[in-house]
Structure 1
C-alpha cells in the first residue's frame, strides 16, 4: 500500500479559497490542510466558519 503524502497548498490557492468564502487566510489554510483535495467537504467547512 502507498502512503498518502500531502504537499503544502500554494498560497494563491489559499488566498482564492479565503476570498471565495470570505474567511481569514489562516482559517482557509487550516481547512485546506485538513481536507486536502476533498473540495466538497472543504467548502462545507468554510461555509460553517463564514456563517
Structure 2
C-alpha cells in the first residue's frame, strides 16, 4: 500500500488530483493500493482507518 499525506488545503488541487490518478495507475499495475489522505487526519490520529478496507 502506498499512502500519500497531503495538506488539507492541497487535497482538491487539480495538480494533486492528476498526480493521484497517475500514482493510482502505477500502484494498480504493481498490484498495490494507493490512497491519499489529509494531514489533519494523520495529526488527529484517524489515519489507521485506511487499513480497514484491506
Query: Quick one: higher RCO (CA 8 Å, sep 6+), 1 or 2?
Result: 2
Same fold (TM > 0.5): no
Q: TM-score, normalised by structure 1?
A: 0.30
Which structure features the higher share of helix residues? 1
